[in-house]
């Protein structure tokens, strides 16, 4: 049993929540580079929360320029036990209109310009992401969303695209043919890196548009996306507050907490000291074992 420390990756105004107490901005250095922004740390309903504006305050960072490794590492260094992600998404299905909140349970990663692992030559590791989200977190977020009055849909496959451009119509139709439900630019490699860092991860996507597959639908435009995000914003803040209030007093262990126990491949005597030094926060638990 332990204390919950919830990391939240989301929009730059998400941390402005009623009841967010003793909040302060804290700069966290990471050996993986510069995180998107300082961390906003405080308590909601007695639970410690660590907010990270994904694109930086003022939305200054493009999706491909996000330093996801530094972001996840900074949250780990701040003591986070679990991560929830809130992000804008496009819909690839008629039954998921703008304004819907989707608690995603699967991903297809089509990004290609991002560093996707903390591990590599000098310390090889392979973690399973067969089931990339934490069912416990997802269920609690879904329940909290309904209490907050959000229009929640449970489950869905998220197509992670590189961006920053929106899809072509042919791409959008292809993703639908694959069985994808929603599309976005930021969930990968966040989910993969959270798993490597042994932090359970869950994502709530806020539908802003129908992408471009739908006959008669206007092309995706930034002003329409921003308008829908603003409409969703208050519900997202209520969701986070309800989630905080619903958490059990103590945190039971999760199988995700120990995934590195069976993931490290490189023999101890062959491990690169420089890479080990960068991995000090990520591997602290597993490499501290006798």
The first and second tokens of residue 198, run together, are 């042994």
The first and second tokens of residue 145, run together, are 């969303």
Any idea which residue has 């609690």 for tokens? 140
Active site residue 211: yes
CA 62 to each of CA 35, 36, 58, 207: distance values in angstroms, whole numbers, following the listed order:
13, 10, 11, 19
Locate all alpha helices (DSSP H) within the chain, ordered by sequence.
68-77, 135-147, 169-177, 187-196, 222-246, 273-278, 284-287
The catalytic residue among 73, 82, 181, 209 is 209
Q: Residue 43's CB: how many other CB atoms inside 10 A?
A: 14
Q: Answer yes or no: are the C-beta atoms of 179 and 59 closer than 8 Å.
A: no
The first and second tokens of residue 125, run together, are 């590791």
Q: Answer yes or no: are the C-beta atoms of 50 and 168 closer than 8 Å.
A: no
The catalytic residue among 105, 211, 257, 272 is 211
Active site residue 223: no
Which residues are known catalytic residues? 209, 211
């Amino acid at each position: 049993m332990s204390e919950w420390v919830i990391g939240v990756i989301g929009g730059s105004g998400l941390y402005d929540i009623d009841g967010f107490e003793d909040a302060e901005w804290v700069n966290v250095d990471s050996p993986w580079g510069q995180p998107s922004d300082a961390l906003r740390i405080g308590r909601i309903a007695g639970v410690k929360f660590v907010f990270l504006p994904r694109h930086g305050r003022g939305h200054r960072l493009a999706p491909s320029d996000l330093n996801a490794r530094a972001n996840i590492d900074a949250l780990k260094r701040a003591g986070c036990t679990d991560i929830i992600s809130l992000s804008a998404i496009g819909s690839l299905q008629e039954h998921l209109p703008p304004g819907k909140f989707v608690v995603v349970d699967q991903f297809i990663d089509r990004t290609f310009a991002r560093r996707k692992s903390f591990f590599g030559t000098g310390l090889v590791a392979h973690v399973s992401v067969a089931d990339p989200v934490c069912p416990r977190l997802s269920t609690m977020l879904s329940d909290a969303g309904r209490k907050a009055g959000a229009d929640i849909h449970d489950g869905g496959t998220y197509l992670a695209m590189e961006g920053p451009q929106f899809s072509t119509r042919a791409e959008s139709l292809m993703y639908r043919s694959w069985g994808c439900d929603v599309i976005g630019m930021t969930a990968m490699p966040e989910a993969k890196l959270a798993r490597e860092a042994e932090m359970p991860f869950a994502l709530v996507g806020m539908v802003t548009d129908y992408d471009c597959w739908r006959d008669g639908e206007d092309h995706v435009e930034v002003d329409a996306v921003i308008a829908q995000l603003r409409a969703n914003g208050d519900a997202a803040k209520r969701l986070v507050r309800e989630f905080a209030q619903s958490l059990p007093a103590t945190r039971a262990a999760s199988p995700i907490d120990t995934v590195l126990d069976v993931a490290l491949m490189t023999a101890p005597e062959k491990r690169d000291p420089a890479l080990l030094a960068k991995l000090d926060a990520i591997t602290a638990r597993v490499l501290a074992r006798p």
